Structure 1
Amino acid sequence: MADTTATANPETPTTGEDGVRRRDFLDIAAVSAAGIGGLAVVYPLVSQMAPSKDVLAASSTEVDISSIEPGQAIKAVFRKQPLFVKRLTPAEIEAANATATGSLRDPQSLADRTKEGHEDILVTMGVCTHLGCVPLGAAEGEVKGEFGGYFCPCHGSHYDTAGRIRKGPAPTNLEVPEYEFTSDTVIQVG
């Protein structure tokens, strides 16, 4: 008769109660260690590409507009460029609204360029859209151009009271940056 006792086959893997082989555990442990090592190498490379604290600080600017009288403007700095904040007079608002947007090179209404409820506050970048000169008209006594807004002395671009290009080589209106009113007297640009 043949021997019916089973003999252990050395090729048969040994399994525990849950069916996981010892080799599976070693594979999982090796892959986990490699993943942690990979993260330890990649994290410093990725984190060094994040902006520094001084760059983040320059990414937004708060401007107090409480002292600006109607017809006055102040200059501030936003991302190392001049920023004009002007409180328009009722006459300037009327002149801007009287201009048909269809007649403009870069058609925008005053409402498109200001925030609802604050139509008298115009916030623009103080950089001519032609070649990047700083237009005149924000400070008292400066030439405001033919349309009462801003005048770029470099190449003769004229902007109206809403900062829209009306005459000269500039292709577009003065840029209106992203901004919001954090209170009735403070705006945050950026």
Structure 2
Amino acid sequence: MSEHSTNTETTGGEPTRRDFLYLTTGMAGAVGAASVAWPFIDQMRPDASTLALASIEVDVSSLEPGMSLTAKWRGKPIFIRNRTPKEIDEAKNAPIADLKDPNARNANLAADAEATDVARSAGEGKENWIVMIGSCTHLGCVPLGTAGEYGGWFCPCHGSVYDTAGRIRKGPAPMNLFIPQYSFTSDKVIKIG
């Protein structure tokens, strides 16, 4: 046999003490590296003040029908609109078959919920309220409110047009504007997140 043969060749394929030592040394090195790296990884977690911003409360008492406001949540614009009866009727009368994206995209509902007007709004009895993440689903631009062919939102960057329920109707955007997890804590305060 050659003097450069491995230990497993001399023992007929059975592991030797040297193989065991290589394995345990490697494992000890991996554990040591992980214990040294953990403090650096752990410091990258968000601190308590950041976690506190995981949800916000927005006072909407000043929003009359037809008015909207933009809040900021987790670095994203949030569109909150108190829709007029006309805007609600226009959104209700849009056939689901005419929509580019038939999915509600509402974090408060099942993932497969249809994009009806009620599924896009705050629900029964609060159909006038709509709360959405204000980022165009095409490239993340911020659409302009009460603009476009359907009176909802219009993204001037590439021409995406959303209706008064935030559903994509024309343009390159593939999906409806997303609706975050939210709830009314009172008649005039919305908790987002």
- Scaled by the length of structure 2, what TM-score is found? 0.70
| 1:93-140 residue CA offsets vs partner (Å, 9 max, x unmatched) | 0000000112101110111112222110000111100000000016xx
Name the residue aligned to 1:115.
122
Following TM superposition, where does structure 1 have runs of at least 4 consecutive aligned residues deviating by more than 6 angstroms?
43-47
Match of 2:152 in 1: 149
Instruction: Give the 3-state SS of the residue equivalent to 1:54 in structure 2.
Output: helix
Alpha-carbon contact 2:167-2:177 (below 8 Å) kept? yes
Distance 2:149 2:45 in 1: 46
Cα offset for 1:55? Answer: 1.7
Count of aligned pairs between the two proteins: 146
Correspondence 1:128 to 2:131: no
Aligned pair 1:89/2:84, yes or no? yes
What residue is the counterpart of 1:52 in the other structure?
47
Per the alignment, residue 178 of structure 2 pairs with: 175
Q: Which has the larger radius of gyration?
A: 1
Q: Deviations over 1:36-78 (max 9, x none)?
A: xxxxx9x978965653122212211111111001011001101
Letter in 1 for 2:135: V
String of CA shifts for 1:10-31, please: whole Å, max 9, x gaps. xxxxxxxxxxxxxxxxxxxxxx
* Unaligned segments of structure 2, at least 5 residues: 1-35, 103-114
| Structural RMSD (CA) | 2.1
Unaligned runs of at least 5 residues, structure 1: 1-40, 139-143
CA contact (8 A) 2:122 2:131 kept: no
Alpha-carbon separation, structure 2, partners of 1:145 and 1:45 = 49
